Structure 1
Amino acid sequence: MENDINHFSDEFEVILEGPVPAYRVSLWSHIGVKSAINEDYVAFLSSEKAQRATRGSMLIVADGVGSAKGGRVASEVFVRQFLSGYYEAPNSLTVEAALGRSLASVNEWLNYYGRNSSDLENMAAVFCAVIIRGWECYVVSAGDVRCYLVRGNTIEMITTDHLINVGTGGFIARAAGLDVTLNAEIIKLNIDDDDKLFIMSDGCYRYVTPETIKLLTAELAEGRNIVEKVGLLAQHNGSKDDISAALIDFQNLPKKTLTYFESASRTLPMGRVPTVGIVVDGYFIDRKLYEGHFSVLFLARDGGSDSVSYVVLKFPKVRALEDENLRRSFAKEDWVLSAVSSPWLSKSANDDRRRSQLYLVTPFYHGKTLKESLSSSDMSFSAGLDIAQKMAKGLYELHRLGIIHRDIKPDNVILLEDGGLKIIDYGFAYVAGLLDPAPDEPPGTPLYMAPELVNGVPGDSRSDVYAFGITLYMMFSRGKTPTGIHGYRRLRTINPNYPVWIDRIIEKMVRADAAERYSDTLEVLYDLDKYAALAEWPVDSETGVRIRVREVVLLRWLVVALVFVLLFMQSK
């Protein structure tokens, strides 16, 4: 499907792939007041499903260079030939190679006729194109058509204005047809669900600030309304040029498959664990964070970024070089990191650079582990309850994806400096329906391991409920275990100010028989939320009873008394 919007004011929206669309594309273009013809040319092409997997779909905004003849011809010819050349390229070519080949061909054509035809003298077009292929996104541009990424409450300009400033003005330094060769910019973006890409010609973005675009995106729900509002606002603010705006709203992108990560891991050698101070693929190893039985974690600085940023690198240990199970475990963990989207779960660092050996890259989260926090300071009951609720939400997101963590413990929960929380380390994760070879040892940490895991069962959501319950008990008891001589040891014996209901919840979570536990952390969260309001009411200094509880009890007896009075009066 191809849609060109020109000569008139119009709007168009495309919804793709399934009841929950992978993305929506919205287009709006309008001829300028000073223009005889719209020199902007906007197109979107969603290829056939089979080709969509290899070449993807493409959105283009092109603008004929205003000072040259044939600007409209240049923009339209560029778009049509660029699309044709890209989609006709052999599937064996990478996206970047196919883009380069098509750009070179159409640039040569435009440059030749711009030099040899008086009607089209010096014709050229600036452009920005976005290619979406599954979970991959590429932005290719030359000139001054801009692309902005809106993510959450931030907006970032992705493209570069290829202009040369001269005195008070400037002129285009790169454009299709401008020179014999075209030096275009190709960027591979890491895109998440709910991200938005805005592509705009200069007649639009010169009159609408990025901050305004971000605010409109937050206020308006539908993409078509957003691009129309942006275009009309540019007109209102004085734009007399052609105005074109396009929006891609990513909603339900397909995720990379586990097979993809397993295939990628097989191409990498399992090298030796690096030492502090060396550089691995552009990462400077700063210090060791943790060393376990199978892996080592390092804090590393990303030398490839403009500003200093930190990541965590996880390397398999040398002693397991020939262990195929460990290789599969790394591939599985890499897949889990890419699949999750909860704010309470550690995610992939979205680094697609070529790696020289097998390792994982995750963001570095500023904060302390729950274990460190428990050993360094006191924690109020309400703070512990907040942590419990966030953990329950994060674990439920994993379970919803068919992933069982199997190593929940205070070491694997990071309390962020901004008040957030991240569950980390999916090294022992089990993916429901995936046939994994049986590990040599039960997965997880013995103290937190559900009885069924010890007995060799892969486990399910109730196994995580058990480890979650042990973790909560350790948090509220400041390191004591929940089992005593006579079975479950109530938290109220450790701190009499704790409410009775927290023991009821945790005791049910840590029962030996999985069938007697909560079936999932969503049920745990329901009970935590149900009782959470009680934690907000103060304790009477004299009686030690929570005021709200006492009020409820008193009200109950008043109601009973009133009923007896009414019955007595009726008997008269």
Structure 2
Amino acid sequence: MPQISLGHSSLTGPRPRNEDFCGAATPEGPELDAKGILAAVADGVGGHANGREAAEYTVRGLLSDYYATPDTWAVNKSLDTVIKALNRWLVAHAARTRETAGMATTLSAIVLRGRRYYLAHVGDSRIYRLRGGRLEQLSTDHVWEHPELKNVLSRAVGLDAHLSVDYADGELEAGNVFALMSDGIWGQLGDRKIADILQSEADPQAAATRLAVTAEGGGSQDNCTALVLRVDALPAERLRDNVARLRQLPLPPRLKPGQQLDGLTVDALLHESVVTLLYRVHDARGQACVLKTLRPEHDDPQAAAALAHEEWLARRVSDAWFPQVIPHPPRSHLYYLMSWHDGATLKARLDNGHRFGSGEVAELGARILKGLAALHRLSIVHRDIKPDNLHVDAEGRLRILDLGVAAADSQHDGQAFEEINNPGTPSYMAPELHAARPVPASEQTDLYAVGVTLYQLLTRKYPYGEIEPFQTPKFGDPVPPTRYRPDLPAWLESVLLKAVARDPKARFETAEEFLLALERGAHRPLVVPRKSPLLERDPQLGLKILTAVSLVANLLMLWLLLIR
């Protein structure tokens, strides 16, 4: 994490009460690495009896609840979720009594994580950055201009049930100085004086104190609050640094049953893909687990980065619907361990000739969707849901396997890396992922893959036929599953057809919506059109018809001219 120095000052000024509030959180260890340093300044709505309470509640709530959000969430998503929850509470609290009516506050917050900064802002407190001797205002004042009164807030936390927050982010540089302040300071000093103070005071505490004292002494009629952060040093890029560490570890050789590695004994090779190897191993206590590593011929930094990212995600998915990462003493080779569970994948059960009934498939679908909903709540998209990656253990518990190509919205923080294989299996990928300009995979494309999986379990077919890698498929209407399984109930066919619809707008939007349709079953069946209009199936049909009509008309006119 960046090395930061910070300081703050808050003066009441001529006001009878200080309605400003500021705070910062500097956690340690994994929390610091995952969430970063958070600082915030709030200015309660001036003159209101509960302005101070609104400001303090908002800052304290943000500082505590931000660190309770999942590590896999992007910073902006975590900030937005917490700030809007705080806003809902303030609006509800203000509506209870006449004394609390109208309580609201501005909010300016900054997160410094890794080599980037993230801003959240509402109201007319400000965020400045001093870089290379140049002062820049990073926030926008949310005010209505008024000819007689001081600027009136157009946005504030607690002002309206529908809160719009400004977000921004950018690269950090060593020596950057960020200053968060209430309007009592910037309104009195102006940008030039603020820049002079920040440049002349190397110590953030001295800078914050001087900003507040100078504004108060200069005649500010408001509370004066400043919080100053200076970036003393930047960390190495975390993912690359982790890859460099992993690259120092050799890949294990291809292992055989009975061989040992770091106190682990190999029982069997479970699976071999183009890039990875899975072994069942057991430790000195006899505990069985799964060892995942790379094939020896794939000893390259990008493959190591992908394996490191997969382990990072898997550690954060601490849910019973997924195998769990098992801690292990310092590794002498590049691999990680997961919990082992007896049983078989749904693909293995298909291959063994198992005939899935409609009730069984509906129950499996419900369990898959519950697990996927847990993953999506962490803002992780699996991107490779299929029978091969769905495992049912000896006790009947279903688990979702293989986060090898999964993506979390928190991974894109200036630490880009290439993927080691295509994100998904073609036959389970939604039509929009096959387009000439494919859209990014999303929670909804995961749900499409669930629909294809359930369709395959029942029919051993694909709704649009099997799609080979590098093939450019064309999608018409999905084949109704009753063509292969006439015994399927109509309500289940409707659910499957909605799940695998060609148009994303016709599909389920969330795992919960899909799950509800399965649980309601025949009691409240879906109404799904079995066949889409011809023009929808072939968008170019209209142009083709117009071209044909035009050609016929031209030929007719030419014939009329020739016979005259």
- TM-score, normalization by structure 1: 0.45
- TM-score, normalization by structure 2: 0.46
Whose RCO is larger (CA < 8 A, sep 6+)? 2
